Chain A
């Protein structure tokens, strides 16, 4: 008998509320109108106007205009999208992208297969960045103390102040940046420091790699960035490291690990971590361990860690230990020493110089400002008032500075305290260059003119320092690179670099290192009370994406929370405190306190409370303002640590919108592990469905490998971007009206304190015997000869019978008019190949039929059939682990056919004889027999 699988605590406890909830097709209130008359009243009212409703079909189509080019660019063909290479930075580090442009409008972001840290994949942040571009809440005007002003007025005010600073060597001048990896910006800052030798450059980065670099300095005598090669690793031990998600090389790590695990040796992954993450959920062995317990693990004496170390020793030179970015430098140093001792250094891990520009911190700047030593502060992109640690009184110190110029994408918390606020251009609107974590440079090109007149940091600095009529970003970057590659071949170099999205051979060299034995670790004593763990939010990061509705509504990995962060508590701690989900607790830490809702998370380390950053924003926009709890108000400069006090606030309730309970499995065997006994599907002919689906020609199908899926959510946002899927808001998510065509279900199995965790992406199954099709009274959902289960919006009258009859719960109904047809900027960003749905219409995954049709048309024009791999669905394209494979199952040589022939292949609810075209490969692993 397998241990029971469950998705939520209510389900495990089989509470009566849960039973009632699970038996309803729609959540309580889901079928009700938002406000005003009840459903019954509404029907009475509508009865009278029903006759008129028919007449609306008799209107003529409105007249449309065709607006051709005046001068058509040679390469532009109306109706044929073009792709341009560029890059996006997260925490300063670049990932190469290819961005689709439809007649000059960027509509979809994909990974650049040639970029070493994309390999064709992207994560949810990259996917959602397209929505930020069109965000109408982005800063649209230059402001002086809140009043709309102009660039000219700003320059006229700041340039004389700079001239004044030149007189005193820049003693009163400070520049505050985010993490800088841009060679052009770095050269500009060098030039600034040469011109103003007394000036200082500071950095504001709430989630930095400072501990990693400092740890390397302890071990090797110089700050270095470790670069992992997982392809050579047979045993990986991750200590509080989410290296498959929250790491600048996560896409590359994911691809390498998935390939290594599928290989002969089947890489074994051990993860010890305080809060379940993407990395922990695909571990072969996961240990819930507090952040501060990691040092103790390294000192020894823990049986779990001893087994892992034994395994590492058995694989010298083919093992790898990774310490998390948030771990103290001493732990990093100890891990380097361990890797060196195991012979891994130089094989599975090498070191390079950090790609980022060193800078002074925020605290030093606040001290200088408080002392009145700063007269002119230039902020490039950062939002220090929100991001400053709680013990740095940045906003107050800011008022001691006469002139503050802030360039930022939103009129944010910092902008409220600045004399000048300037709109910053989105990365798709401006030229840029940036380094990936190994130093590989991408020269990023813009795809559209700035929508709101924004400028890039490079353009602003050039305007302030060199020439008020500053050159364009293009000229500035080109001029910089001309100094780097002088000579005849520059034009060729420039064109090739911009086109390819990488500057060839720009990775930083590997630094040969030897370990100086670090001083022994002094682990914190047990019994020091609770610890608080601050981590970037898996959906909105450090808060930079707080106004992005796609990311706000994205169910976070494992917790499935949307629109909120919460104090994540272990079940044992929750029982001890007597709190339940959605209760409110006061978190008191280092002399400060915040109130936060409770979310009980199986697998959370017993004495660790996790609070994600990025919420509680007050000045970002209509989407992000007021969502969640501001963890920054609690987070001191020292970051996470022990000494947290948690107190229940009696009677308080904080509703949380989680999708964990939605579309639930009701005890059925949906998520399988390889080798588990399972009921065989019934013979294909035992069915009442008419067998009228001949599969001539193509037969589209999909296979999803549960052993590879990390639950990183990139596919969910990719689907949303590709298919014009709207968001609905927190209140509507609580009513179970979320619209994602592709959801990722999280499953727990086994012990409540230490469960195995698994993720299962669930798109439409495209059943061959589709239960939805036979109940539609208007044939709005029907079967294509190629096996697609089609949804025809213009036929749909919204009976919702199909959704009721769908055993997989993958159909989504537009209860209200979700698609925003009024905001002009959103119209630009939509995929022109997919209908924008209206109220009252059912919708669901189409297997990206627009991509299938496009590939079929291309092939038919060449009088050939579609080749395997020519149709790539949006979810498949972004997947960092290549867990999703799509193709023609009539072709026995196709990748998807070969996967479906594996013994691990199973259909979800195959016992219903729906014959789903989407099938799963059961979860496998390579557990250590001595730990099993």
Chain B
């Protein structure tokens, strides 16, 4: 009886035995890389807006405080995107004929809100609250990055749950003194990061232990 498998079959079998797990691994790695990629997370890419508003100009160069526009950040879940009127407090006097600002003027004249593109978009089953973070010493920069250096705004973090949990497990790595929360240049010092002074802040601000902060219902409900 003739042999069913020629001698080469052994090599094919070996190749399959090694290749299939390797292939599966490669696909998994590829999927993981895709999931982490800025294309998926939208991190690091500035998003087009109806008015090319520059945080770098307003916050960085002019030094306008975050709360001048984001008025609800200390009291509400939502930081609040400013009404057209807020823009017009200055722009009814400055750059009144600037073409870039036409949509703003039109918005006020026609009583039609400006539709901004959301940059930081958490999934709908996540209930984030700005006010509690700000009140517990988590600065704007901790999540939003150096907006004072961005023309068009982009996301500097993946907004993956892993990233949220990293801070909820170790708030001492990110907590700032309350007076520095809106200081866009404040950085946790290398030597104090996670060490004594930061731990004291966690204690003074009555920040809950990780067991409570990582409880599902803290964010999901």
* Residues of A that sit less than 8 Å from B by CB: 58, 60-61, 63-72, 77-80, 696-697, 782, 784-786, 788, 790, 792-794, 833-835, 846, 849-850, 853, 857, 860-861, 863
- Interface residue ranges of B152-195 to A (CB < 8 Å): none
* 0/1 string, B75-119, CB within 8 A of A gives 1: 111101111111000000000000000000001100111111110
B220–A77 contact, CB under 8 A? no
- Interface residue ranges of B201-217 to A (CB < 8 Å): 205-206, 208-209, 211-212, 215-217
Interface centre among B40, B81, B113, B216 (most CB of A within 10 A): B216
Mostly helix, strand, loop or mixed at chain A's interface?
A: loop
B123 interface residue (CB < 8 Å to A): yes
In the bound complex, what is the Cα–Cα distance between A785 and B208 (angstroms)?
A: 11
Given B34, B108, B114, B123, which contacts A68 in the complex, CB threshold below 8 Å?
Answer: B114
In the bound complex, what is the Cα–Cα distance between A65 and B40 (angstroms)?
A: 18
> Closest A-chain residue to B116, C-beta based?
A66
B85–A790 contact, CB under 8 A? no
> Closest A-chain residue to B211, C-beta based?
A785
**Which residues of B have CB within 8 Å of A788?**
217
**Which residues of B have CB within 8 Å of A833?**
127, 221
In the bound complex, what is the Cα–Cα distance between A792 and B215 (angstroms)?
A: 11
B72 interface residue (CB < 8 Å to A): yes
Given B31, B76, B127, which contacts A853 in the complex, CB threshold below 8 Å?
Answer: B127
- Work out how many contacts link A and B, with CB atoms closer than 8 A: 131
Rounded to whole Å, the gap between the CB of B220 and the closest CB of chain A is 5
**Which residues of A have CB within 8 Å of B129?**
853, 857
- Choose the segment among B56-64, B130-138, B141-149 that binds chain A (4+ C-beta atoms closer than 8 Å): B130-138
Instruction: Please give the number of chain B residues whose Cβ is less than 8 angstroms from any Cβ of chain A in the complex.
Output: 51
**Which residues of A have CB within 8 Å of B72?**
77-80
**Which residues of A have CB within 8 Å of B82?**
68
**Which residues of B have CB within 8 Å of A850?**
127, 221
**Which residues of B have CB within 8 Å of A72?**
83, 85-86
Interface centre among B42, B80, B107 (most CB of A within 10 A): B80
Given B75, B112, B116, which contacts A70 in the complex, CB threshold below 8 Å?
Answer: B112
In the bound complex, what is the Cα–Cα distance between A849 and B77 (angstroms)?
A: 16
**Which residues of A have CB within 8 Å of B107?**
70
> Closest A-chain residue to B126, C-beta based?
A794
A782–B125 contact, CB under 8 A? no
* With A784-B215, A790-B217, A835-B124 as contacts: A68 and B75 at CB distance below 8 Å: no
* With A79-B72, A794-B123 as contacts: A68 and B211 at CB distance below 8 Å: no
**Which residues of B have CB within 8 Å of A792?**
216, 220
In the bound complex, what is the Cα–Cα distance between A79 and B153 (angstroms)?
A: 22
Complex A-B, nearest 6 residue pairs according to Cβ-Cβ distance, in ascending order: A79-B78, A79-B76, A69-B83, A72-B83, A79-B77, A64-B118
A784-B216, A790-B220, A850-B127 given; name 12 further pairs at CB < 8 Å.
Answer: A65-B118, A67-B115, A67-B116, A68-B81, A77-B80, A79-B80, A696-B209, A697-B208, A785-B215, A833-B221, A835-B125, A857-B129
A853–B217 contact, CB under 8 A? yes
B121 interface residue (CB < 8 Å to A): yes
A853–B221 contact, CB under 8 A? yes
B31–A58 contact, CB under 8 A? yes
> Closest A-chain residue to B75, C-beta based?
A77
Rounded to whole Å, the gap between the CB of A820 and the closest CB of chain B is 16
In the bound complex, what is the Cα–Cα distance between A77 and B40 (angstroms)?
A: 32
In the bound complex, what is the Cα–Cα distance between A863 and B178 (angstroms)?
A: 13
**Which residues of B have CB within 8 Å of A835?**
124-125, 220-221
Rounded to whole Å, the gap between the CB of B27 and the closest CB of chain A is 11
A857–B215 contact, CB under 8 A? no
* With A785-B212, A863-B206 as contacts: A69 and B217 at CB distance below 8 Å: no
Rounded to whole Å, the gap between the CB of B6 and the closest CB of chain A is 33
**Which residues of A have CB within 8 Å of B34?**
58
**Which residues of A have CB within 8 Å of B42?**
60-61
> Closest A-chain residue to B77, C-beta based?
A79
B114–A793 contact, CB under 8 A? no
**Which residues of A have CB within 8 Å of B112?**
70
B35 interface residue (CB < 8 Å to A): yes
